[in-house]
Chain A
Amino acid sequence: MKITSRIISDHGLNKDEYNKIVSLIERDPNLLELGIFSAMWNEHCSYKSSKKYLKNLPTLNKKVIQGPGENAGVIDIGDNDAIVFKIESHNHPSFIEPYQGAATGVGGILRDVFTMGARPIACLNSIHFGDQYHKKTKNLLNGVVSGIGGYGNCIGIPTVGGEVKFNSSYNENILVNAMAVGLVKKDKIFYSKAEGIDKSVIYVGSKTGRDGIHGASMASAEFDENAEDKKPTVQVGDPFTEKLLLEACLELMKDNSIISIQDMGAAGLTSSSVEMASKGNLGIEINLNKIPCREEKMTPYEIMLSESQERMLIILNPEKEENAKKIFKKWSLDFAIIGKTTNTKNIVLNFNDEEVANLPLSSLSTQAPLYDRKWKTNPLPKKTEFSDKVKSFKILESFKKLLRSPNNSNKSWVYHQYDQTVMGDTVQKSGGDAAVVRVHGSNKGVAVTVDSSTDYCLSHPITGGKQVVSEAWRNLISVGASPIAITNCLNFGNPEKENIMGQFVECVDGISQACKYLDFPVVSGNVSFYNETNSKAISPTPTIGGVGLLKNLDYMMTKEFKHENSIILVVGKTLGHLNQSEFFREVVNDISGPPPEVNLFNEKNNGFAIQNIISKKLTSAVHDISSGGILLTLFEMCTEGKIGVNIEIPNNNISNNQYLFGEDQSRYIIEISETNKNEVYSILKENSVYFEIIGKTIKENMVIKNEFNISIDELKKINSEWFINYC
C-alpha cells in the first residue's frame, strides 16, 4: 500500500515528521509501521511539546523512591512501606462516551499502580464539566460519575476523594482526571525495564479486540463537530476482569517470577513492548499470531493499535513459567507466550510466518520529535477597583447564592455513588480537606487530595500554578499530615498556539516554584493537550494530586467544629482579595482581575505553625480557607454536627464582603479551647504568623453580628438543592 499524504495526516503526523521517519529508518514505512510511529510519536505518548518544560520540575526529595518515567511514582513512608501513585487524564474519550471513557480512565490508572506491585488502596478524581445550561452537561455528568463508580466499586477500591467543577470553558471538552494510590513493600516494587536476552515475553489478561484503535492519537488532536464519530476509538472497560488481573498479578508478584512488567495503556501493545525493550536497551520480537484475540481476522495493524483494556505484558524468569500459567488459569485469564527479548535493539513483528514490521526502537523513543514551541507570556491583569456596587451586595443573599451555585454545592449526590468504605481503612472520607486511608494493619495513615485551578490559572498561569500546589499542600496540612510529594495532570488546549503554549510554560513554572519551595516534588503525572473544539480551548487546568503521611492516626484532624463555646481563629492575613473569587464570579458576575497572590514564605510558615498546633493536640478542628472565603469555610465546618458559630468581624479597613468572601491564600480556620488558647497564641506569635479571633462556636445557628442569624439546617438545605434538582 502506497503511503499517501492523506494517510500520513490521518495518522496525526505532519510532513516533516514523516520525512523524519524516512530518514531514521532509511526507507518508507509500511502502513503497520506508520501506525506504530503514529502511536508513539503523538503528543499523548511522546510529550514532544512539553518535555522541555517538564524537565524543570523538581522530582526528588528524601522520600522519593521513583520519580517520573515509570508506570507511577513511589515514595517512602517508613517501616518498609511505600506508596505508589499517579494521576492521568481521560478527557477526550469521556466526552465522546462518558461512562466508558471515565470507567477506563479509572481502570488505566489502577493498572499503572498495581503493575508496580502495589495493592491499590484509594481512588480519587477531578472532573470538570461545562456550564449547567449547556445541553450536554447533565448527560456527561451522569455518565462520568456512573462510570467512575461503576469501575471503582466493582473492583473494590474505595473512591475517597475528588472534586467536581463546572465552567463554560469545558462545554465541548470535559476533563476526567483519575488518580490511584497503592501500597507496596519497599523491597517488592516491580519495574518496567526488560532485562536479559532470549527471555519469554508473556501476554496476560483480556483478549485483544477492535476497541480503542488509535485512542492515543485521538487524544492528541482537537475535536470538531464530528467528535462523536470517534466513538470506536474509545475503549470498553471490564472491571471484573481487572479485579481478576489485579489478584493474579499480586499473587504472581509474591516471589521473584517477574523480571519486568508493563500494563498496556495508551497505544496498547505498541507502547508497552517498545517501552519495556527500550528501557532495557534490548530488542523485542513478537509473533502476532500468538496474541489472544477477541474477534476474528484481526490484522497486525489492529492488533498493535488496539487499546483493549485489562492487559499486561510480562517478562518472566523462564523456570517460573509453569507456575505463572497456573495462577492465570486459576483466575480464568489468558496467558500467552508471544515473543522474546533479543539483542537487536529493534522491534520485529511477525505474522503468518512473515516479517511485517522491523523498526529500530530508538526511532520510536529517544529519537522521537521534540519541539521547542513558540509561546507568549501572560501579564498579570490589573486589579479591578471595587465600585460601591460591589459593597452593596447583601451578605446573606450573596452567601445563599454561592451555596446554590453548582461549584459550591454539596457534592454528596456524586460521592454517594462511589463506594468509599470498602477495604475497611478509609478513616476520612470525601468532604474534608483531604481523605485519609489507614495503612492496613497499622496506625499510620496516608492523606490524599486532588486540587485543580481554572480561573486563577486563566487569569495568571504562574500564580495559578503556584496556588494549586499550595492548596494541595495546605489540604494535607489541615488533616494533620506531613506533605510528601505530588502527581500532576496538566490539561491545556492546542500547544501549537502561542497563547496556549504560554499558559502551559508559565503554569509549569508556577508549579515548579511552589514544589521547590515546599519540598513537594512531582513524582508522576501526565500532560493532556488539544482540549479544544473548533479552536475553542478550555481554560488552562493543572490538577495536582498530593500525598502526605500521618505517622500516628491519633493525631488526625478533621474540619468539623466539635464543641460549643470554643474560640474560632483565622490564621493568616485577610486582605480581602475578591478578583477571581467565587463571590465575583457567581454574585457580582465579574471575571476580571488577577488571582490572589501566593506568598510561598507565608504558605510554608503558616502551614508549619498549624502542623505544630495539631501535633500538640491544641486544636479540635482545622479547615483551610479556599474558594468562597471565610464564610463558606465556616459553613463547611458546621455541616456535620450540631455546632454553629457566632462571628464578629474584626476591625479592619476592608468591607465585610471583602472580609467574608475574599480568597487570600495561606489561611486556615481553627477551633481552640479556652484552656489551650495561650499556648496556641504563643506558637503563632513566636513564628510571626498573623491571626485573628473572630468569634465562638455556639449551638446550631450561624450568626454574623449585625448581618444575619440563620440555622445551619436551613443553609444545608439550600446547599444541597442544586444537585437534587439538576440530576
Chain B
Amino acid sequence: MKSSVIVFPGSNCDRDIAVALNKFNIKNQMVWHAETNLPKSDLVVLPGGFSFGDYLRTGCIASKSKIIKSVIDHVAKGGLLLGICNGFQILIETGLLPGTLLRNKKLKFLSKNVYLKVTNSDNKFCLGYKKKNIVKFPIAHNEGNYFAKDEIIKNLEDKNLIAFKYCDSEGVANDISNPNGSSKNIAGILNNTKNVLGLMPHPERAIDPLLSGVDGSIMFKSIFQ
C-alpha cells in the first residue's frame, strides 16, 4: 500500500501523519505542493497545519496549488483521499466535500481530547470501527465549526455520509458534547463515493498509548486492509 502526503508551506502535521503511516506499514512519500504529478498512490493525505498561514481563508490558497489537479484526478479514479484538520478545510475549498468550516463557536482555538461516535463504518477508512464505535481523538483547531445549507445536511444524513460526530464518553451527541458548535455535531464527513474523508480531529495523534491513546490506529489499520 502506497501513500502520498502533500506538503504545503505552513503544513505542520506532515511529519506526524508520515510517522503514523509508516507505523502501519503504509509506504509513504512526501509531495511538495508545487509538483504537478502525484506519485503512484493508493492513499493521498492532506495534513493538518496552517497552509499559507491561513491567510485569506483557511485552506483556500492551498486548494489552488498545482498538485491539487492530480489529487482530484486520483479521487475520480477511485483513489482514497484523507484530509485532517487543515486538510479537511482544504477539501472543502476544493469542492471535494460540501459545506464550510466556520470559526469555533466560542471564537477560541481549542486543543483537547474529545470523544467521537463513528456513525458510518461502512467505508475504507472506518471499517475497523464496527467493533468500537466510540473513540477518543485530540482536536486542535480554530475553524472547525461545520456548517452547510439544510439540503446539504439532509443529503449527508440521508446517504449516511457523516462519518464522525462529537459526543460524550457514553456516545451522546448534543450541545454539551459539541466542542465547536458544528451542525449536527459533525466532526467528519465522506463524499458520495466514500473514498474521500475529511475530519477535524487528529487520528494521527492517537496511535500511541503514551500520548492520546490508540483509537486512531484503527483508522490506519482499516486503510491498510
Contact = CB atoms under 8 A, between A and B. Distances in A.
Given A239-B53, A244-B10, A416-B111, 15 more contacts: A149-B109, A150-B109, A154-B50, A239-B50, A241-B53, A243-B12, A243-B53, A331-B9, A416-B108, A416-B110, A421-B111, A421-B212, A422-B13, A422-B16, A423-B16
A421 B108 contact: no
Nearest to B7: A247
Nearest to A119: B15
A667 interface: no
A422 B140 contact: yes
Nearest to A441: B19
A86 interface: no
B9 A153 contact: no
A156 interface: yes
B12 A417 contact: no
A156 B15 CA distance: 11
Contacts of A155: 12
B9 A423 contact: no
Given A156-B13, A244-B9, A331-B9, A421 B140 contact: yes
Interface residues of B, number: 30
The 7 lowest CB-CB distance pairs between A and B, nearest first, are A156-B12, A240-B53, A419-B140, A424-B16, A154-B50, A419-B111, A427-B210
A146 B50 CA distance: 16
Contact of B140 (A153, A239, A241): A153
Contact of A240 (B13, B52, B110, B140): B52
A645 interface: no
A438 interface: yes
B93 interface: no
B54 interface: yes
Contact of B138 (A149, A156, A421): A421
B215 interface: no
A420 interface: yes
Nearest to B48: A422
B10 A423 contact: no
Contacts of B20: 424
Given A243-B12, A421-B205, A153 B211 contact: no
Interface string A32-69: 00000000000000000000000000000000000000
Contact of A424 (B111, B142, B211): B211
Of B10, B16, B138, B208, which is in contact with the most chain A CB atoms at under 10 Å from its CB? Answer: B10
A344 interface: no
A240 B50 contact: yes
Contacts of A156: 12-13, 49-50
Contacts of B109: 146, 149-150, 153, 417-419
B12 A422 contact: yes
B64 interface: no
A198 to B, nearest CB: 34
Given A154-B53, A424-B208, A332 B9 contact: yes
Contacts of B54: 154, 240
A451 interface: no
A151 to B, nearest CB: 11
Interface in A413-437: 415-427
A421 B211 contact: yes
B105 interface: no
A598 B55 CA distance: 51
A417 B112 CA distance: 9
Contacts of B52: 240
| Contact count band on A | 20 to 34
Interface in B122-179: 138, 140, 142
A211 interface: no
7 contacts: A154-B10, A240-B54, A332-B9, A417-B110, A421-B211, A422-B205, A423-B16
Interface in A322-348: 331-332
B131 to A, nearest CB: 25
A150 B208 CA distance: 27
Contact of B202 (A331, A416, A421, A426): A421
B9 A418 contact: no
Interface in A131-163: 146, 149-150, 153-156
Nearest to B34: A330
Given A240-B55, A438-B210, A424 B19 contact: yes
B11 to A, nearest CB: 8
Contact of B108 (A244, A417, A426, A427): A417
B22 to A, nearest CB: 11
B10 A416 contact: no
A216 interface: no
B10 A243 contact: yes
B221 to A, nearest CB: 18
B21 to A, nearest CB: 12
Nearest to A240: B53
A553 B210 contact: yes
Interface string A428-457: 000000000010000000000000000000
Interface string A176-203: 0000000000000000000000000000
B89 to A, nearest CB: 14
Contacts of B55: 240
A285 interface: no
Nearest to A153: B109
Nearest to B17: A424
A418 B16 contact: no
Contacts of B108: 146, 416-417
A333 to B, nearest CB: 10
A421 B111 CA distance: 8
Interface in A392-419: 412, 415-419
A500 B162 CA distance: 62
Contact of B111 (A150, A331, A417): A417
Contacts of B10: 154, 240, 243-244
Interface string B84-109: 00000000000000000000000011
Interface string B192-225: 0000000000101100101110000000000000
A427 B205 CA distance: 11
Interface string A236-266: 0011110110000000000000000000000
Interface string B44-62: 0000111011110000000
Contacts of A331: 9
Contacts of A153: 50, 109, 111, 140, 142
Contacts of B15: 423-424
A241 B140 CA distance: 21
A238 B53 contact: yes
A122 B112 CA distance: 17
A156 B13 CA distance: 8
